[in-house]
Structure 1
């Protein structure tokens, strides 16, 4: 995997603030009430979360690291894979029901949502990895020193033009700041179930 410069990405949805820190981290403040969602259960469409995106061709993978240091309901950060406003996947960690949850939202006109609690990840550096191979996106996540967890397997047409990169949003409040510590591109995973 090779590091990606923050400056090589293009913002989809402007943050309130994005500052590159002296140590190379990128601190991002999303707008109050920003979100990504389409219809299901809630009945609304939101498409205004800031995401720093770069081309994401078939046969490649993207990884994003961030410090999990927030506690507000629905505060979230991770990786966004975007084809268009009706077709996208966001994956990462979101606070729900009072604790951090690792999960993904897969949207094809309508959004779905899957999560699993990870209370022991609070205050730690999280890495989210999305690999694109064939007709599939494979989402994995972990904290430093622990093995990858398979989060989601989702369809994406091989011919689709997609972009991907770090995103964050704060559907229920303002003032969230997410500290992203890494962004990398590389080859797609060789297998869905690696032997490691």
Structure 2
């Protein structure tokens, strides 16, 4: 994972009401400053088959149209304390073809994690203990035949997380998501959701 400074044009905010939930969370509320607070259901998750053998399609993802040569960006808080607490950005083509990237609390530390699913899920994760409790921004760019995932903590440098092949062309949606596989009461603040041009280069 390397520091990068992607070149990108100005982005446009997406209003929370423009999205549709894959699965409705326990509760949502918008504070006076425009932050969306989402409380996840216990057991909510997204995964297909690999290693664990189960299929979960119960994540809370707020999705809007995602098109080629654009990026989707989500800024959120990280109040994570229990195993597999997570939030970030979700890209969905179908129940068997989707991706997610964000911060996940695993084995006592926050990790930058990404899962790409095409029939079966994979998983990559890198510990970032210094990001605990800090605001994080995730960005997924759809450039040609790939999704480019980047992350930053607060106002720090962008870091390249993943480059994944992506062969969809239409009917794709993306937006913020949250999951709480092992507990109830996880509430995540989402501060911004925006769309812009895809990053123009990897480096």
Cα separation, 2, equivalents of 1:86 and 1:121: 31
| 2:21 corresponds to 1:11 | yes
- Counting only pairs closer than 5 Å after superposition, residues 73-152 of structure 1 correspond to structure 2 as 73-152=83-162
Of 148, 164, 167, 1:154 maps to 164
- Counting only pairs closer than 5 Å after superposition, residues 155-194 of structure 1 correspond to structure 2 as 155-193=165-203
Structure 1 residue 179, shift from structure 2 partner = 0.5
Q: TM-score, normalization: structure 1?
A: 0.96
Structure 1 residue 158, shift from structure 2 partner = 5.0
Structure 1 residue 161, shift from structure 2 partner = 2.4
Is the Cα–Cα contact under 8 Å of residues 134 and 158 in structure 1 kept in the other structure? no
- The match for 1:25 is 35
Runs of 4+ in 1 over 6 A off after TM superposition: none
Q: TM-score, normalization: structure 2?
A: 0.93
**Aligned residue pairs: how many?**
193
| 2:83 corresponds to 1:52 | no
Structure 1 residue 160, shift from structure 2 partner = 3.9
Gaps of 5+ in 1: none
RMSD: 0.8
Structure 1 residue 71, shift from structure 2 partner = 1.0
Of 38, 46, 49, 2:48 maps to 38
Is the Cα–Cα contact under 8 Å of residues 58 and 158 in structure 1 kept in the other structure? no
- The match for 2:76 is 66
Cα separation, 2, equivalents of 1:5 and 1:53: 11
Gaps of 5+ in 2: 1-10
Is the Cα–Cα contact under 8 Å of residues 127 and 142 in structure 1 kept in the other structure? yes
